[in-house]
């Protein structure tokens, strides 16, 4: 959801790939450690130096939703969703199957090698996991601050999941994109109508994390002075809900199909969002880097929605989101209606547009109504609600909502 060169292969061989839409917060506990030539057991005894410990508190709230929330509203930083945040649903959206973290010494050039790397695969955690990692003084030198690239569930996008990823440079990570999932199949249908078996990709880039004041000689001491790092999903969730007024000539209404304009969806999407400094992590670095994008040429097509899948209600207007209603409260109410269709989509920088085609009954001609959704960025939940009333017209009865889409808690990353 562009004309990027996608870096998939680790080490010094980077293979170009084919180029090809929110919020609670579960707890993820992460810790990170060195592999390969950066040994966990390293101690520079000759210099009188040993490996150090640092603790990071990594949360996954949608900081953009928090920043844009109305004055006086609360945010979902303690397991309670904010005004414009929604929870993961289903729980598979929280599953963690793998973790990869790259640590770079700050203020080094784009071709610098990581001073630390950790990969763990074969996991099956829901919302939390604990990992440990060392920052080696031998590799880091006189370390004052670090930059982190964090990626969960790399296998779901088939990128940065090779055996030699510890040698990826900062430049290669910045330019990494994915196009193998969360888009459109050859027949126009969505690739991901459910959470893939390997999970949803979640990532973040935070720079200039001061470690000088957070380094300790043991993990317990470091845990008393953590650094907070928020993560965001690399995809968005788009779904449609429909209702019809009981009786009132709506007994035979159907949605025949929904088409999303392909030119508003990118052919590939950045694995990581833009970098944000540690001081600006709550408001910046929440979207991808949209340079040189290309877009899909075919439309995304959802199949029809039968009459029995469109809930009859006394007053469909009651399912319009009310002023000052929290996004999660609204989604709880909307769940009474049957979800019409859904897809997880790669991030796009364009307003998503499309048409909903419908019939009042089988004998009448098919009609359509347009919809558009702005700000279809990563880690956002995109909801379109339409209802039939009166003479079974769908026109002018469409509403869309964009909400931050968060995890349920806080993630702790402990660096040894």
Written as one string, the DSSP assignment of 100-147 is: EEEEEETT--TTPPPSEEEEE-S--EES----EE-B-HHHH-S-SEEE
Is pLDDT at 279 greater than 60 in this prediction? yes
pLDDT at 77: 38
DSSP code for 327: H
| Beta strand extents in 49-120 (DSSP E only) | 54-59, 85-86, 95-96, 99-105, 116-120
Q: Of the ranges 100-104, 255-259, 351-355, which one carries the lowest mean pLDDT score?
A: 100-104
Mean pLDDT of the region 137-148: 74
Buried b (16+ CB within 10 A) or exposed e, 102-124: bbbbbeeeeeebbbbbbbbeeee
Sign of the C-alpha dihedral computed for residues 215, 220, 226 and 230 taken in this order? positive
pLDDT number for residue 374: 87
Binning the chain into helix, strand and coil, the percentages to the nearest 5 are 15, 35, 55
| Host H or E run for residue 13 | none
Query: In the prediction, which pLDDT does 163 show?
Result: 77
List all residues 6 or more positions away from 37 whose beta carbon is below 8 Å from its beta carbon. none
Tokens 């080490």 label which residue? 11
Are 99 and 123 in contact by the 8 Å Cβ rule? The answer is: yes
Say which residue, 140 or 349, is predicted with more confidence.
349
Contact between 160 and 151 under an 8 Å Cβ cutoff? The reply is yes
Single out the residue of 229, 223, 85 nearest to residue 152, CA to CA.
229
Measuring CA to CA, how many Å separate 403 from each of 100, 226, 237, 381?
27, 29, 10, 5
What pLDDT digit, counting tens, does each position of 265-275 carry?
A: 999 999 999 99
* pLDDT tens for each residue of 192-206: 999 999 999 999 999
Model pTM score: 0.80
Q: Which residue has the tokens 């203020």?
A: 107
- Report the pLDDT value the prediction gives residue 54, as an integer from 0 to 100: 60
Beta strands, E only, 187-330: 202-210, 227-230, 232-233, 235-245, 254-260, 269-270, 276-277, 300-302, 311-313
Classify 212 as helix, strand or coil: coil
**Positive/negative CA dihedral, 67, 73, 76, 82:** negative
Considering 130-134, 160-164, 313-317, the range whose residues carry the highest mean pLDDT is 313-317
Tokens of 343: 């897809």
Scanning the structure block, which residue is given the tokens 């009865």? 397
Give the chain's mean pLDDT. 77
- In the DSSP assignment, the letter for residue 364 is S
């Amino acid at each position: 959801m562009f004309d990027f060169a996608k870096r998939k292969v680790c080490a010094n061989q980077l293979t170009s790939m084919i180029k090809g839409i929110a919020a609670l917060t579960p707890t993820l506990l992460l810790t990170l450690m060195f592999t390969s030539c950066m040994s966990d057991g390293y101690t520079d005894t000759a210099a009188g130096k040993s490996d150090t410990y640092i603790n990071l508190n990594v949360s996954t709230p949608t900081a953009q939703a928090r920043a844009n929330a109305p004055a006086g509203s609360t945010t979902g930083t303690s397991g309670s969703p904010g005004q414009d945040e929604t929870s993961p649903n289903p729980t598979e959206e929280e599953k963690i199957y793998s973790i990869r973290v790259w640590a770079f010494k700050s203020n080094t050039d784009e071709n610098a090698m990581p001073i630390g790397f950790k990969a763990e695969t074969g996991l099956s955690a829901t919302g939390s996991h604990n990992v440990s990692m060392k920052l080696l003084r031998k590799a880091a030198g006189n370390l004052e601050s670090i930059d982190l690239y964090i990626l969960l569930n790399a296998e779901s996008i088939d990128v940065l999941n090779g055996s030699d990823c510890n040698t990826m440079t900062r430049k290669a990570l910045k330019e990494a994109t994915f196009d193998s999932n969360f888009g459109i199949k050859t027949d126009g249908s969505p690739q991901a109508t459910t959470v893939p078996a390997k999970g949803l990709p979640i990532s973040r880039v935070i720079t200039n994390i001061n470690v000088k004041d957070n380094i300790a000689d043991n993990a317990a001491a470091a845990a008393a002075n953590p650094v907070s790092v928020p993560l965001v999903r690399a995809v968005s969730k788009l779904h449609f809900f429909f209702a019809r007024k009981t009786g009132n000539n709506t007994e035979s209404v159907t949605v025949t199909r929904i088409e999303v304009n392909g030119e508003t969806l990118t052919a590939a999407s950045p694995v990581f969002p833009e970098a944000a400094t540690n001081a600006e992590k709550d408001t910046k670095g929440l979207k991808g880097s949209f340079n040189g994008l290309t877009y899909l040429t075919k439309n995304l097509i959802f199949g029809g929605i039968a009459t029995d899948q469109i809930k009859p209600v006394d007053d469909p207007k009651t399912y319009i989101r009310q002023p000052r209603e929290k996004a999660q409260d609204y989604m709880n109410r909307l769940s009474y209606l049957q979800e019409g269709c859904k897809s997880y989509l790669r991030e796009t920088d364009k307003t998503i547009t499309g048409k909903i085609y419908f019939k009042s009954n089988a004998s009448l001609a098919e009609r359509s109504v347009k919809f558009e959704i702005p700000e279809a960025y990563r880690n956002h939940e995109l909801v379109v609600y339409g209802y039939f009333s009166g003479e079974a017209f769908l026109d002018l009865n469409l509403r869309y909502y964009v909400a931050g889409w968060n995890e349920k808690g806080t993630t702790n990353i402990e660096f040894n």
